[in-house]
Amino acid sequence: MAPNEEHYRKLERMYAGAPVNAYYRPVIRVGEGTAEVRIAVREDFYHAARAVHGVAYFKLLDDAAFFAANSLIEDVFVLTVSFNSYLTRPITEGEMIATGRVVHRSRRLLLAEAEVRDGQGRQLARGSASFMPSEIPLSPEIGYR
């Protein structure tokens, strides 16, 4: 396994072990400057009008963009500095698939874009974010193993 592939798998395990993901039950795949996150739509994600609440959209957008960014940083956890999101279509069933990719990288800032689509390929949401390296080491203590 190439060294960066090991980093991607460790990020995936860190993600899977995050307590919030016990509720959403997402699946992630990380690559170089990219990430894909999938969740099955459930009724307990609904708001009062019986469609998925925006919190699930934002989680997918942020997770995909975040892990795309952290795929390029191998020593520390990155932090979300800002996030701009657009919810473009409601969803009530099926699967939500988020893809994130880094579009710019400098020494202290990474910019990433993310998009959520349904199983038929229709766009549900899109967003852009900025991230910066933190001082939190990627270590077994935070699930990076």
- Check pLDDT > 80 for residue 57: yes
- Check pLDDT > 80 for residue 103: yes
Q: What pLDDT is attached to residue 21?
A: 98
Over range 37-43, report the average pLDDT. 98
- Check pLDDT > 70 for residue 14: yes
Of all helices (H) and strands (E), which one includes residue 136?
strand 123-137
In terms of phi and psi (left: phi > 0; alpha: psi -120 to 50; beta: otherwise), the region of 4 is alpha
- One-letter amino acid for residue 72 of the chain: L
Work out the pLDDT band at 78, boundaries 50, 70, 90. Answer: very high
- Structural domains in the chain, sorted by start: 3-142 (3.10.129.10)
Rounded distance, CA 117 to CA 40, Å? 12
Q: What pLDDT is attached to residue 3?
A: 72
Helix, coil or strand: residue 10: helix
Q: Pick the residue with more confidence: 1 or 16?
A: 16
Question: What percent of the chain stands above pLDDT 90?
Answer: 98
138: tokens are: 């990627």
- Check pLDDT > 80 for residue 1: no
Q: What pLDDT is attached to residue 66?
A: 98
- Check pLDDT > 80 for residue 24: yes
The pTM for the full model equals: 0.96
- Find, among 96, 88, 27, the residue nearest to 56 by Cα: 96
Rounded distance, CA 137 to CA 54, Å? 31
Helix, coil or strand: residue 87: strand
> For all residues of the chain together, what is the average pLDDT?
97
